[in-house]
């Protein structure tokens, strides 16, 4: 047990008691290049309250931080905002100490999910509009279904003007300093956008509904479930969420490809150059060298997408198939796309890519580009002209 792990005071009698996962690099397929944190908060009031727990392997870190200010056996209330195990899987361990604690969870989906995973741990289900007094403070519960699981909810403390937001407004970002103003804002905002793109993109409507239900709240801090706590840039992150949830895109192009012997790569270079000549900034991603999570973050707010793959065994490259499967699941909106690729014989890949782009809801603005063997200068010029003529 590491006795140097302490609670971090956020305000008198309110502490961050979470865990920092510096080494996390893959969060169920989301490449987390800057690690993450599992944030939990402790309120010392008449009823000692813990908001969320952490991922089970970090339970000792949580318990150690709690024990630095209060005996965990004294916890009266645990709010479980979300069943996903990165926030709930340490619950059974905390309950071994806090034997009498009631666990607040959403009705019906939080209750169902926690019971299925951990059995009966003494749950109190709550619904929209429910609140409890923990002494000098009140906790109001606001369900945020499908943001991003059916059970998700947030908690607002009106006396402190604190919103405990769980996944919403979070970032997969490991830091030693807990607040937004103690870290680089551009890095935080990039990771917040990446988090939104990779976790919340399919749920824009629900995000807009949640923003509207939270819109009237006076917030002094947003205490997230991952990454930093917002206190200086609350308007900025709320504005970002409104913009991201709207599905609006910028005049920008993303080119994603794999290549076997360089021909599809030449096509990708040509397409990138053509967009730039048209005055549209373009980003060029070789799928072999850039994590999918970073690529979809860029696609999320870019109007144009070109996806290229050579043909292998009558199929597209498995790397591109995997990428398109991931992208389709995120239900991207308002994009204009086309497919390209080279081939030796057969040449099915661009057609298969085009079908997947359509299935992902994209508007096809250019017929698939299929080039046998190696593109000629005339073919490259023709491709350039087609892109220059795009409306």
Say whether 101 sits in a helix, a strand or coil.
Answer: coil
From CA 292, how far away is CA 328, in angstroms rounded?
12
Shortest CB 27 distance to ligand FEO, Å:
8
Residue 26 or residue 373: which is nearer to ligand FEO going by CB?
Answer: 26
Residue 37 or residue 272: which is nearer to ligand FEO going by CB?
Answer: 37
From CA 386, how far away is CA 338, in angstroms rounded?
12
Q: Which of residues 305-344 bind ligand FEO (CB under 6 A)?
A: none
Residues 89-128: x where in contact with ligand FEO by CB under 6 A, - otherwise, as a string: ----------------------------------------
Interaction between residue 87 and ligand FEO (CB under 6 A): yes
Pairing of strands 19-21, 36-38: antiparallel
From CA 232, how far away is CA 217, in angstroms rounded?
16
Taking CB under 6 A as the binding criterion, the range among 40-48, 84-92, 100-108, 353-361 that sits at the site for ligand FEO is: 84-92
Residue 62 or residue 316: which is nearer to ligand FEO going by CB?
Answer: 62
Radius of gyration of the chain, Cα coordinates, nearest whole angstrom:
24
Q: Is residue 140 within 8 Å of residue 219, measured between CB atoms?
A: no
From CA 378, how far away is CA 372, in angstroms rounded?
13
Q: Which of residues 158-177 bind ligand FEO (CB under 6 A)?
A: 167
Residues in Cβ contact with 318 at an 8 Å cutoff, skipping those fewer than 6 apart: none
Residue nearest to ligand FEO (CB): 84
Let me know if 86 is a catalytic residue. yes
Burial class (CB in 10 A: 0-12, 13-18, 19+), 328: middle
- Among 82, 137, 194, 368, the residue binding ligand FEO under the rule CB under 6 A is 82
Taking CB under 6 A as the binding criterion, the range among 83-91, 128-136, 156-164, 346-354 that sits at the site for ligand FEO is: 83-91
Let me know if 148 is a catalytic residue. yes
- Asked whether the CA dihedral 110, 245, 301, 363 is positive or negative, the reply is positive
Q: With the CA atoms of 17, 173, 246 and 253 taken in that order, what torsion angle do they form, in degrees rounded to the nearest 10? A: 180
Interaction between residue 86 and ligand FEO (CB under 6 A): yes
DSSP 329-365: HT---S-EEEEEEEESS---HHHHHHHHHHHTTPEE-
Let me know if 167 is a catalytic residue. yes
Interaction between residue 191 and ligand FEO (CB under 6 A): no
Interaction between residue 84 and ligand FEO (CB under 6 A): yes
Name the residue among 387, 322, 309, 383 with its Cα closest to residue 353.
Answer: 309
Residues 217-256: x where in contact with ligand FEO by CB under 6 A, - otherwise, as a string: --------xx------------------------------
Shortest CB 150 distance to ligand FEO, Å:
11
Shortest CB 359 distance to ligand FEO, Å:
26
From CA 333, how far away is CA 247, in angstroms rounded?
6
Tokens read off for 80: 């479980």
Shortest CB 167 distance to ligand FEO, Å:
5
Let me know if 87 is a catalytic residue. no
Q: Kindly state the number of chain residues that form the binding site for ligand FEO, as judged by CB under 6 A.
A: 9
Let me know if 60 is a catalytic residue. no
Let me know if 195 is a catalytic residue. yes
Residues of this chain that bind ligand FEO (CB under 6 A): 82, 84, 86-87, 148-149, 167, 225-226
Mind telling me the catalytic residues? Answer: 28, 82, 84, 86, 148, 167, 195, 226
């Amino acid at each position: 047990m590491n006795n140097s792990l302490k609670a971090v005071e956020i305000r008198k009698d309110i502490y961050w008691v979470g865990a920092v996962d510096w080494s996390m690099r893959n969060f169920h397929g989301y490449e987390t290049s800057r690690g993450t944190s599992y944030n939990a908060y402790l309120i010392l009031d008449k009823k000692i309250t813990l908001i969320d727990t952490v991922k089970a392997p970090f339970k000792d870190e949580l318990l150690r931080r709690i024990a630095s200010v209060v005996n965990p056996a004294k916890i009266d209330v645990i709010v479980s905002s979300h069943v996903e195990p990165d926030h709930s899987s340490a619950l059974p361990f905390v309950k071994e100490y806090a034997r009498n604690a009631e666990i607040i969870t959403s009705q019906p989906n939080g209750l169902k999910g926690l019971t299925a995973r951990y059995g009966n741990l003494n749950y109190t289900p709550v619904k929209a509009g429910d609140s409890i007094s923990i002494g000098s403070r009140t906790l109001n519960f606001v369900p945020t279904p499908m943001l991003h699981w059916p059970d998700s909810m947030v908690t607002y403390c009106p006396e402190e003007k604190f919103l405990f937001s769980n996944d919403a407004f979070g970032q997969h970002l490991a830091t030693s300093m807990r607040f937004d103003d103690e870290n680089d804002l551009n890095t935080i905002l990039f990771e917040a956008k990446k988090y939104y793109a990779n976790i919340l993109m399919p749920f824009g409507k629900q995000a807009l509904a949640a923003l509207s239900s939270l819109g009237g709240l006076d917030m002094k801090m947003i205490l997230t479930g991952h990454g930093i706590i917002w206190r200086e840039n609350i308007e900025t992150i709320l504005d970002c969420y409104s913009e991201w949830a709207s599905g609006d895109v910028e005049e920008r192009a993303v080119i994603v490809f794999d290549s076997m012997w360089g021909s599809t790569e030449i096509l990708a270079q040509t397409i990138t150059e053509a967009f730039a000549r048209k005055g549209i900034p373009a980003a060029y991603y070789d799928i072999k060298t850039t994590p999918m999570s970073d690529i979809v973050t860029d696609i999320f707010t870019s109007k144009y997408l070109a996806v290229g793959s050579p043909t292998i065994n009558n199929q597209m490259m498995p790397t591109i198939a995997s990428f398109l499967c991931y992208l389709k699941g995120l239900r991207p909106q308002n994009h204009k796309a086309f497919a390209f690729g080279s081939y030796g014989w057969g040449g099915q890949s661009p057609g298969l890519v085009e079908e997947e782009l359509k299935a992902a809801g994209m508007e096809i603005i250019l017929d698939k580009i299929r080039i046998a063997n190696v593109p000629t200068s005339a073919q490259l010029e023709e491709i350039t002209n087609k892109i220059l003529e795009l409306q």
